[in-house]
Structure 1
Amino acid sequence: MTSAQRLAVVVETPQHSGLGAALDYLSEHPLAPGSLVRVPLGRREVLGIVWNRGHNADAELIDVAALRAIGAAFDGLPPLPPAWLALAEFASAYYQRGIGELALSVLPPELRKLDAPGLAKRQARLVKRWAREQTKDAAAQQPDVPPPVERPALADEQQAALAVFDALRAEPQPAPMLLHGVTGSGKTEVYLRAAERVLADGRQALVLVPEINLTPQLEARFAARFPGRRLVAMHSALTPAQRLSHWLAALLGEADIVLGTRLAVFAPLPRLGLIVVDEEHDPSYKQQEGARYSARDLAVYRGHLERLPVILGSATPSLETWQRALQGRYRSVPLALRIGGGALPRVRLFDMGVLPRPSGKVDEAPIVLAPLVLQSLRERLERGEQSLVFLNRRGYAPVLHCADCGWKSGCPHCSAWRVFHKRERTLRCHHCGFSERVPRACPDCGNLDIAPIGRGTEKLEEQLAEALPGARIARIDADSARGKGQLESRLAEVHAGEVDVLVGTQMVTKGHDFRRITLVVAVSPDAALFASDFRAPERLFALLMQAAGRAGRDAEAAARSEVWVQTWHPQHPLYAALKRHDFAAFAASQLAEREAAGLPPFSHLALLRAEARDAAIATAFLQAAAAAAGELDAAGAVTVYPPVPASVAKVAGIERVQMLVESASRARLQRLLADWLPRLHALRAAHKGLARWAIDVDPLAI
């Protein structure tokens, strides 16, 4: 095998293994970077990607005769595009994960099971099926078939936004475009027209949405607008076979439009011409395990890398995005008016402090909904209109409590309460999933009178049924929509007018175009006002603005649409800005607070998380890591704070401790993290009993 070539191949290895770089193998044939191969690793044969030579720093020290041969190459499959490799390489370096771990983790799992002949057969079947579909599509477009969906006329603001988009497309390095549109202002139509332009040029479009439950309705909009185009979805709810099929359609250039959740930012698109990030502020774009990447931020980087326009759409942009728009780094385009001239709903605050509290405890207040709010609900019922009552807490009550001995329904495996679910008669932990039947009596003292404290959507649904006899009430949350098709069925009932009052969590506040809803009620949103997480007010304002946006989307009903917020703090500045629908004022106040406190976007953060069954082991690891960071940062450009327990300190029996790292310079923070990583691998081996550790760059919650 003297003529064999040495190739660098990345394979999926866990972070703690320390095998972050590419491994060297021998190949009898030249293979381009991005080629998929199967290679031996230990006693297994695993999937790998041929990478660039520069990825093995010790290549010259390797004895070629000792190298193992590549098992097989997927010859019929084109290599992953160079821009895809560059994106994965950037994400690996920025988020401090091994290149193989990141690059392989975003590929379809089904690829790992297939050998080269198996993939070739699968690919051939797909190509034949696509050919049949194209034939059917061509037949469907004959003159005797009804024409496609008619495009609506554009409002002036939409036309202006598309003019900006066209100007950006003509630039050699387009800046990201922030489409700052109020709810109901027609952002989706701008996305559709922008996609129309790039598809006409023979390019592909990538559209990201924050959550799976928003994918079907947006997919339907795009499919109706582009009946002759191939549209594929990418999200975790697909079967393994579907994920592979859709991924292949993207890579082979067969897919014109890819629509998906955060994972879709890694879709291999050789002719990419546009990226849309809908609801760009949504925290769901941040991966919370493994490689903790932000799909929104990677979409912006991918646009820069491939020199193509990126549209970031939101009624409440993230403060990082808003700040970049203020600085001129992003092009901000407003959509301040609703389509059809409809008014934004009137926001009204009800001061819960005026209601009686017999025991002096908020959670035991006998009235869930204020009298004025109930009256508004009854008025909607009389007019045949719909209402949305929003409470971001599922279950019947957060905890069961014994008044005699003080017992509460804590989880034995987590530092959290088990939530009472009345219909199932269970206590279930929403962190580890541990579930038990509700005890007949207090487990500690035997008292038969154990009672729920607080309220969740299940209890709210029950109390609304009592207060509004005859009303058709439906609930949508993670419990009621667990089964296959349940969410779609419930949403269809709402759209069909078969529901009078919809009760739900944040699942129902985002993106849904409910035409009959004229009243939104937000119950108990105050907790975020005083949370330790500095991002909590930003998330609350976005959530309430999104919830309010479900009301009055039909222009004729907009004038009588309103939002009630039941609060114990009606004088809070956040609610003052909400009443005026004034995101700019809210953002200005938050940015001023962040700047004074030295918080993002005026500083840059990372979290080092450690987990062990004994918190002392995790803390000792973090303390040793802090000492190592001090040695690496002699200039003191980075601040390392002492280790503290996570907000939920124990999950499934594992103690969680974290340490915040902060710097005014992103570059200096990244330099420290890169130099720190080898030290952390060594420290992990020295701390027996440490379950796992991870670096979270740009964390969303601290």
Structure 2
Amino acid sequence: MHHRLAVVVQTPAHSGLSGPLTYQSPEALPPGTLVRVPLGKRETLGVVWPVDESALDAGGVTERPVGGVLTGLAPLGPAWMRLVSFAARYYQRSLGEVALAALPPQLRELGPEQLARRLKRPIAQAPDAPGESPVGLALTPEQAEVCAQIEQHSGPFLLFGATGSGKTEVYLHTVQALLTRDPSAQVLIMVPEINLTPQLEQRFQARFAPRWGAQAVVSMHSGMTPAQRLKSWLAAHSGQARMVLGTRMAVFASMPGLRLIIVDEEHDPSYKQQEGARYSARDLAVYRAQQEGAKVVLGSATPSLESWHHSRPAADGGRYQRLLMPTRVGAAADAGLPRVRRVDMNRQGKGTVFSPPLVAAMRERVARGEQVMVFLNRRGYAPVLHCNDCGWKSECPHCSAYRVFHKTDRTLRCHHCGFTQAVPRACPDCGNLDIAPLGRGTEQLEEQLAELMSETLRPDGQPARIARIDADSTKAKGALESQLAQVHDGEVDVLVGTQMIAKGHDFRRVTLVAAINPDGALFSSDFRAPERLFALLMQAAGRAGRDAAFVSAQKSEGEMWVQTFYPTHPLFEALKTHDYPAFAQAQLSEREQAGMPPFSFQALVRAEARSQAVAQGFLNSASAAGATLDGADQVFRFSAVPMTIQRVANIERAQMLIESPSRAALQRFLAQWQAVLHATRAAPEHKGLIRWAVDVDPLAI
């Protein structure tokens, strides 16, 4: 007797096959079982899905047999399958695309025999008897109150804590209390960036390995090898790993004993996947906790406006419980947060990069043995190379963007398609030998600082040392870790970098942080740009004066310098007083008046084609065809427009914004519209269309 099974496989996004396929098996297999099945001319991994056998429709196609069963591995749980189903439905992707992408790459390649061999490898065992209870730092009254609130209530929680207020210690204490109380509980701790995972892992290992063993803490992120990712996944799936630390992909980790999710720096845009299934790991974490009866804690010094809005009083419709930690740990009450100074660049000489007062302050700090951090969110030497005679600029021939001048290797490099060429000796258009950089990047700041600080000596009589950390300086494996270690060890006096250095790092000797030219985001067409800028500047400011003992011994104070042409802008006024609530209130008021999220709900449909006309034509035709769908009158569809960078790697890109005051109405429309998009693509006039994708709750427009 043969049993018919519904199996989810990774079907192409535009194949129109969004649900499970039907296969035959000599034995009944429980939902969640991993199997190898034929798909076309190849064999692939699939997941048996919970669909009643009587509801399966062969559709006139001969049902093929299952190729093999990955025995020895417990089936994926019902909660995991519900999470995947919800994510696929909400973010408008195929079920198989989400389910299979959530599994480790190496697992997708293994057959039953290979997996059996892999599972036979010895696994480090947990200690027979748990060791001594880990001892953490003594909690401040603020931290103790927050821990008590998390213990007593069900959440979801938004932990709004100033930078340096000790949010990590709250996480550690809450995890420890849970694991001590429940021997089978598992915890998921999420961070936005890969480079923040190792330092957090060290703190968790130091705290918990003595009692629960080194194997109790595992990491999951894309910087790991396939073998490492599989090992961590198997440890979490078996329940052996008590704590999983990871980036956004970890939200899909199979954790049968999940009881607590912590999302650190919850406002960070990195939690939104920008390719394939464009899911928000933060939002899925809240959904997953709700479904599995777990608690979820979202932590940030500058919460996303959506989370801040959700944490308003319950009487006003709030859904999250807001927890407050406004005071820095160990800092004197009157000198807790860094002082913010604004430099009016309108009063500086034309072309000034570092104002004289800022240079004097940096020299003073270095001479005292303190560290300085200079932040500019643009890597390379200059954004563009140009010719004064004819107006030539270093445009990328494949993209509607400029190639960035990198002085260290004398190249022009496109940061969108990667096209790289050596810097020309003369202007390619007119032959002028005097071509010059326009604008500034981190390489140029590093070079200028070396000149400005050349005569400044450290307390030991050695010259000041400058270092740069950005995506270019950290390409080599292990480069970021070694550079961060140099900063921590005091071998660097002035650190220049992009947003990579502004988040999460605990530099104990940094007392001055300077933001160079942050004005671009103040007048961006993207309504979220001010929110991102404020969060970034607050995060950067939080790197200054974190070690109260060091600051006190130096008779110094933490400072944040902002060089701007708009010193009286409300954003900088709020930054000066570290008043996130005032900034959030002003932004939410503007958004409510304009009908922007979180007071409305959006989706972007992007199309890529050989020509801009085809890309826009496809979107406009699909929009017109969708006008007859049920509930279309509750959804507003804007006209298609080119994307900001409209051409990348010779592919034209267009987008269409879809908006509704009702999340449910938007979801109903998008679900019906999928068939319309597939049908529209098949029309002959849209030949040349390469791909299209729906982005629900987009972060950048």
Identify whether the pair has TM-score above 0.5, normalized to the shorter chain.
yes
Matches within 5 A, 1:564-579: 564-579=561-576
Matches within 5 A, 1:423-462: 423-462=408-447
1:108 equivalent in structure 2: 104
User: Over residues 135-168 of structure 1, what are the superposed CA-to-partner deviations in whole Å (9 max), with x where a residue is unaligned?
Assistant: xx67996xxxxx8874110000100011111112
2:327 equivalent in structure 1: 337
User: Over residues 485-542 of structure 1, what are the superposed CA-to-partner deviations in whole Å (9 max), with x where a residue is unaligned?
Assistant: 1101010011001111010100001000011000000000000000000000000000
Counterpart residue type for residue 534 of structure 1: F
Counterpart residue type for residue 129 of structure 1: I
CA displacement at 1:41 relative to structure 2: 1.1
User: Over residues 374-402 of structure 1, what are the superposed CA-to-partner deviations in whole Å (9 max), with x where a residue is unaligned?
Assistant: 11101101211001000000000000000
Q: Does 1:630 align with 2:632?
A: no
CA distance in 1, matches of 2:134, 2:10: 45
CA displacement at 1:685 relative to structure 2: 2.1
- Residue 381 and residue 630 in structure 1: after superposition, are their counterparts in 2 closer, same or farther (change >3 A)? same
User: Over residues 229-277 of structure 1, what are the superposed CA-to-partner deviations in whole Å (9 max), with x where a residue is unaligned?
Assistant: 4111100011111111111111111111100000000000010111000
Native 8 Å contact 2:192 2:270 kept in 1 = yes
2:19 equivalent in structure 1: 21
1:158 equivalent in structure 2: 143
TM-score (norm 2): 0.94
- Residue 325 and residue 23 in structure 1: after superposition, are their counterparts in 2 closer, same or farther (change >3 A)? same
Please give the secondary structure, in 2, of the residue aligned with 1:564: strand
Matches within 5 A, 1:210-229: 210-227=192-209, 228-229=212-213
1:286 equivalent in structure 2: 272
CA displacement at 1:57 relative to structure 2: 10
CA displacement at 1:198 relative to structure 2: 2.0
CA distance in 2, matches of 1:341, 1:41: 62
Native 8 Å contact 1:645 1:656 kept in 2 = yes
1:648 equivalent in structure 2: 645
Q: 1:605 aligned to 588, 602, 605, which one?
A: 602
Matches within 5 A, 1:31-50: 31-50=29-48
Q: 2:403 aligned to 418, 434, 441, which one?
A: 418
Please give the secondary structure, in 2, of the residue aligned with 1:129: coil
2:310 equivalent in structure 1: 324
Q: Does 1:51 align with 2:37?
A: no
Native 8 Å contact 1:148 1:224 kept in 2 = no
Alpha-carbon RMSD? 1.5
2:249 equivalent in structure 1: 263
CA displacement at 1:60 relative to structure 2: 4.5
2:82 equivalent in structure 1: 86
Q: 1:189 aligned to 164, 169, 175, which one?
A: 169
Paired residues in the alignment total 674
CA distance in 2, matches of 1:282, 1:17: 33
Matches within 5 A, 1:254-653: 254-326=240-312, 327-342=317-332, 343-357=336-350, 365=351, 367-469=352-454, 470-556=463-549, 557=551, 560-633=557-630, 636-653=633-650
Native 8 Å contact 1:148 1:225 kept in 2 = no
CA displacement at 1:629 relative to structure 2: 1.9
TM-score (norm 1): 0.94
Unaligned runs of 5+ residues in structure 1 are: 142-146, 169-173, 358-364
2:124 equivalent in structure 1: 130
Please give the secondary structure, in 2, of the residue aligned with 1:646: strand
User: Over residues 192-225 of structure 1, what are the superposed CA-to-partner deviations in whole Å (9 max), with x where a residue is unaligned?
Assistant: 1111122121201100000001001001000000
Q: Which moved more, 1:676-685 or 1:649-658?
A: 676-685
Native 8 Å contact 1:75 1:116 kept in 2 = yes
Please give the secondary structure, in 1, of the residue aligned with 2:36: strand
1:171 equivalent in structure 2: none
Please give the secondary structure, in 2, of the residue aligned with 1:488: helix
CA distance in 1, matches of 2:134, 2:646: 53
Counterpart residue type for residue 176 of structure 2: E
CA distance in 2, matches of 1:617, 1:416: 21
Unaligned runs of 5+ residues in structure 2 are: 455-462
Native 8 Å contact 1:646 1:657 kept in 2 = yes
CA distance in 2, matches of 1:159, 1:345: 24
User: Over residues 616-635 of structure 1, what are the superposed CA-to-partner deviations in whole Å (9 max), with x where a residue is unaligned?
Assistant: 11111001111122121566
CA distance in 2, matches of 1:253, 1:377: 51
1:360 equivalent in structure 2: none
Please give the secondary structure, in 1, of the residue aligned with 2:548: coil
Identical-residue share of aligned pairs (%): 62
1:694 equivalent in structure 2: 693
